Amino acid sequence: MKDMTIRAARVVVCAPGRNFVTLVIETEGGLTGIGDATVNGRETGVVAHLQHEVIPSLIGRDAGRIEDTWQYFYRGAYWRGGPVALAAIGAVDVALWDIKAKAAGMPLYQLLGGASRERMLCYPHARGHDIEALCDDVARLCEKGFRAIRLHCDVPGEPQHPFIPPLPHGVAALPAEITRDPDAYTRFAPRMLAAVRARFGEELHLLHDIHNRVTPIQAARIARETEPLNLFWLEDPVPMENPEVLRLIRRASTTPLAVGEVLNTIHDCRRMMEEQLIDYIRVTPVHAGGITQVRRIADLAALYQIRTAFHGAPDMSPVNFGAALHLGRALPNFGIQEYAGHAPEAGEVFHAAWRYADGGMTTGEAPGHGVTLDEAAAARFPYNPSFLPVVRLADGTLWHY
């Protein structure tokens, strides 16, 4: 067996289309593993944490001791939880699993128990300024073979979200501010979803992300009104600070619920699973402590017949997709994988073995998680500060994004 001592670790920040933070770990024996550490709009926070507090403790450790390393950075830190810390731990963890699978000469899913399926059902995003444009986009995605599609449509009368172009490098960016109208959205969303169902028939899986934009009772109303549409799910009906609110929505409707893309630990997920308040859990390796913890969350979910739906917006790097797809391939309770795509430049920087094909995704058979980083290409796309917008109501009240 090659020397598994960690010789070096470094952080690579690049913006091929959008910002990505990648941790690279090298062993004395010559193996390299990489992990995604991107937190949208908080990139430099994770970079500083990795560089100052994590990497110094990594050097000299045995790369094979994945569990102990996880416990060292989580339990050993005293300050536990939060997206910045868990993204750093997640990046270390995924890089170490990558190394271990390469050392074994196996694709990662084999180390995780082997394949439970060959292909992971996935869903992209359809968007439209109005229902007609949205339906055109859905038709385009159906042509590509997708069998599950997330629907997003601008709300008539609601100010449109400005497109935020990346600023020239070096200019300090500030978050844009946008206005939302929860009442108009509550009236419109069921109508929009019904129109797509009517046009595309009952077999296409339709998903919708409420994105915390309404009050709990409005979310319950939307879930009840859309029940006859047999949606695949409604996502994030309410913010995650008090998941007990999900009880209200559960009592109102049997529409399946998906939450959890902002959760970081198994403790954040536990009670809503035990109470059977959700149907899909959206945690993903980069934001919930890597393979090691997400596998535990998935196992806990399986006790309650809750399935996985790993977050896969464009701010999850191709590296995170590698980790998520290998895990999804092995888990007994995989549900669906979000796949909103990446800018073409991302393909110059990250070379991935995973693929989209015919409504699903495959891992490929490369050893490790199958994603590598071209650091010379990454250098051509320097970091570009950018943020998610901040949301207000029409009267100025600050609201949830």
Q: Provide, rounded to whole angstroms, the least separation between the CB of residue 261 and Mg ion.
A: 5
Sequence-distant (≥ 6) Cβ neighbours of residue 327 within 8 angstroms: 108, 109, 112, 285, 291, 294, 295, 298, 308, 310
Q: Does 209 bind ligand GCO (CB under 6 A)?
A: yes
Q: Which residue lies nearer to ligand GCO by CB, 40 or 44?
A: 40
Least distance between ligand GCO and beta carbon 60 (Å): 35
Q: 107 - beta bridge partners?
A: 368
Q: Check residue 62 and report its DSSP letter.
A: B
Binding mask 66-85 for Mg ion (x = CB under 5 A): --------------------
Q: How far is the CB of 388 from ligand GCO (least distance, A)?
A: 6
Give the range of 81-89, 208-216, 268-276, 381-389 binding Mg ion by CB under 5 A. 208-216
Choose among ligand GCO, Mg ion, none what residue 338 binds, the Cβ cut-off being 5 to 8 Å by kind: ligand GCO
From the list 237-245, 310-318, 346-354, 361-369, the region that binds ligand GCO by CB under 6 A is 310-318
The neighbouring-strand residues paired with 128 are: 153
Closer Cβ to ligand GCO, 43 or 338, answer by number: 338
Both structure tokens of 350: 């990250």
Say whether residue 315 binds ligand GCO (CB under 6 A). yes
Q: Which of residues 223-282 bind ligand GCO (CB under 6 A)?
A: 261
- Contact range with ligand GCO by CB under 6 A, out of 89-97, 103-111, 188-196, 309-317: 309-317
Sign of CA dihedral 233, 238, 242, 248: negative
Q: Does 313 bind ligand GCO (CB under 6 A)?
A: yes
3-state secondary structure 290-355: HHHHHHHHHHHHHHCCCEECCCCCCCCCHHHHHHHHHHHHHCCCECCEECCCCCCCHHHHEEECCE
When binding is defined by CB under 6 A, the residue of 182, 338, 353, 354 that contacts ligand GCO is 338
Amino acid at 321: F
Degrees (nearest 5) of the Cα angle 235, 238, 242? 125
H or E element that contains 135: helix 131-143
Among ligand GCO, Mg ion, none, residue 98 binds (CB under 5-8 Å by kind) = none
For residues 312 and 360, which CB has a smaller minimum distance to ligand GCO in the complex? Answer: 312
By CB under 5 A, name the one of 36, 43, 154, 209 that touches Mg ion: 209
Place of tokens 């490098």: 169
Nearest to 312 by CA among 349, 280, 345: 280
Which stretch, 44-52, 172-180, 205-213, 314-322, contacts Mg ion (CB under 5 A)? 205-213
330: its two tokens: 């092995």
Binding site for ligand GCO (CB under 6 A): 40, 209, 211, 261, 311, 313, 315, 338, 388
